[in-house]
Amino acid sequence: MLEKALIGGRRYWGLIILLVVIAGVGFIFYLRQLSYGLGITGLSRDVPWGLYVANFTFLVGVAASAVMVVLPYYLHNYQQFGKLTTLGEFLAVAAVIMCILFIVLDQGQPARLYHVIVYPSPNSMLFWDMVVLNGYLLLNVVIGWATLNAESKSEPPPAWVRPLVLLSIPWAFSIHTVTAFIYSGLAARPFWLTAIMAPRFLASAFASGPALLILICLIMRRFTKFNPGNEALEKLAQIATYATIATVFFLLLELFTVYYAGIPAHMIHFQYLLFGLEGKAALVPWMWTSILLACVALALLINPATRRRENTLIAACGAVLVFTWIDKGLALMVPGFIPSPTGQILEYSPTLPEVLMTLGVWALGFLLLTILYKITISVKEERAA
Amino acid sequence: MEVSKRRFLKLIGLTVLGVLARPVFGALSRLKAARASPAGAYFAGKRWGMVVNLKSCTGCAACVDACHSAHAVPSFGNPKEEIKWIWTIPYEEAFPEQNHELIKKELRGLPTPVLCNHCDNPPCAQVCPVGAIWKREDGLVMQDYHRCIGCRYCMVACPYGAVSFNWRDPRPFIGKRNSDFPIRKPGVVERCNFCEERLAKDLRPACVEACKEKALVFGDLEDAGSEVRRTLDSHYSLRRKPELGTKPKVYYIV
């Protein structure tokens, strides 16, 4: 089936070249980071994790969200999602690959990453994250490929795929739960010390993943013969709606506990995020943008008329994506470190090389996604023909 | 020889199992036994700890200089890349929970030496994904610079901000050195090691030796006759953030 990725029109090759160039620029800066060290980024002693880990966290959510098309189809026999399951699984594959690349990018000694395997440390949530993410990657590669292969031969998928699919459903929840545990289990960081972290992560994942999938489907409907059907899109939009509501609700729960209990060590980080501290307020515009976009998304999604109209649905999905990217990215990462445990306020802003490397990873992920989707669509078009 | 697909996959599976067996058993056995410490006369300590007597500390920072030249700690001159093993901060920042607007005048802004607390329950060791940080039998929190992958999870997990990272090559920024303590590579973390290398030679930690006021006291917390225990017996003492359950082994007298 791979050969299908080599046959495409001018638009397809144009996209491929664009993504290769962006990834290439990122790679050149990565070589610089390898020789100079992580000092090339805006990270510091006080803020040791930033843009890379923020994107990692967001993308684990996108990966987990594949379950939102897989579960209705396989457990509830919701046939409308039949055309989307492979797309969901391949989206998960691309997202996990990006997660792994962001982790590699973030290591001081990336050549030693194999230490995680040769010195396994079950005490560490990073160890378990490595286990669940790689397992999830493997599951989705195998399931997606086997299903598509069967489809290309006009056969039903082999019988062994179903148990793997069933396994992949709880596994999807596990990847985002373990990722939340990386943060929520640390006594040192009151900002993250909350049991609602994992549910919050899952809710925002099930908002951002379907929103991304809707946008991709609409793009593909415009430029290819692929049509997921209006009913499937409407169902995805409903899922994104409920999940966005849950995300905002969980955020409000967090704010209630923190502000009503009024424990200074917990409150001060939200204070920095929402209003700034001692005149230092790098995140304030981001956070209020995020809040504004959440309101816009809710208004457009809850109203059935705007949820069904293509233009407003696109705007709503865009708003959900940016809102959740900020909420689970920089707005989650950076305030955990500011102020520092001894009360210092050393702000963080990513450097240009850091941003270009981040874009490079996204480009590489979308390159993989483009190729996988090209193959999928070609198979579906052949069958339809 | 004909190798069927099934047989090939079986062989791959067995190979993977074989490769994984040793590290998995290793990890399970590591959960139990802490790594042993070398024996020596001064080394007879069972549980090393330190007392910082703020009543006699003048804030001269001789301890900082001694430590940083004994351990080839670079000075970058900016807070972003800063590496520090022991340093001073105002009293209110070392003990934020104890601070209030009517606090005793002498304590206000008092330079307070802070360092790795060598916790009995070290969160840095708990979160390290490669076992590069661990607690030794004698209570020292140890670190392997060669195993560290530079993920910085320990920096995130330490409630005392005691861990530093080598954001770039430290070599050009190292001032005077008075020992052969190895220089670190970029991309690994580092922190106070309670002068493990000096203890092995029956020497006290460099900071303790450098303190003219004898404000730093080091010794065995298990030994009721030790100087640390006698100091703690006769003074009221504090530890930093004891409510987190890390069980720090650096005590403060105020």
pLDDT digits (tens, 9 = 90+) for B49-61: 999 999 999 999 9
With a CB cutoff of 8 Å and minimum separation 6, the contacts of A351 are A40, A41, A42
Nearest Cα of chain B lies from the Cα of A244 at a distance, in angstroms, of 29
Q: What is the average pLDDT across B69-84?
A: 94
pLDDT at residue A102 in the model: 97
| ipTM of the prediction | 0.93
> With an 8 Å Cβ cutoff, are A48 and B185 in contact?
no
pLDDT at residue B2 in the model: 62
> With an 8 Å Cβ cutoff, are B156 and A186 in contact?
yes
pLDDT at residue B25 in the model: 63
Residue A291 burial by Cβ neighbours in a 10 Å radius (0-12, 13-18, 19+): middle
- Mean pLDDT, consecutive 10-residue segments, chain A of 385 residues? 84 95 97 96 96 96 92 90 91 96 97 95 95 96 93 90 94 95 96 96 95 94 88 95 97 96 95 95 95 97 94 96 95 95 94 97 97 91 77
Decide if pLDDT at B210 tops 60: yes
Q: What is the average pLDDT across B21-35?
A: 58
Question: What is the Cα–Cα distance from A175 to A330, expressed in whole angstroms?
Answer: 20
For chain B, give the percent of residues with pLDDT over 70: 89
Instruction: Give the pairing of strands B141-143 and B133-135.
Output: antiparallel
pLDDT at residue B121 in the model: 96
Decide if pLDDT at B214 tops 60: yes
Which pLDDT band holds residue B179 (cuts at 50, 70, 90)? Answer: confident
Decide if pLDDT at B3 tops 80: no
pLDDT at residue A263 in the model: 94
Tell me the β-bridge partners of B114: B87
Give the global pTM. Answer: 0.91
Task: Give the Cβ contact number of residue A132 at 10 Å.
Answer: 19
Probe site for chain A from B80, B120, B143, B154 (most A CB atoms < 10 A):
B80
Decide if pLDDT at B204 tops 80: yes
With a CB cutoff of 8 Å and minimum separation 6, the contacts of B47 are B120, B138, B139, B220, B221, B222, B249
Question: What is the Cα–Cα distance from B70 to A128, expressed in whole angstroms?
Answer: 37
Nearest Cα of chain B lies from the Cα of A45 at a distance, in angstroms, of 6
pLDDT at residue A171 in the model: 95
Q: What is the average pLDDT across B84-89?
A: 96
Which pLDDT band holds residue B1 (cuts at 50, 70, 90)? Answer: low
pLDDT at residue B6 in the model: 75
Which pLDDT band holds residue B4 (cuts at 50, 70, 90)? Answer: confident
A37, A189, A344: residue with CB nearest B187: A37
Decide if pLDDT at B39 tops 60: no
pLDDT at residue B35 in the model: 47
pLDDT at residue B27 in the model: 61
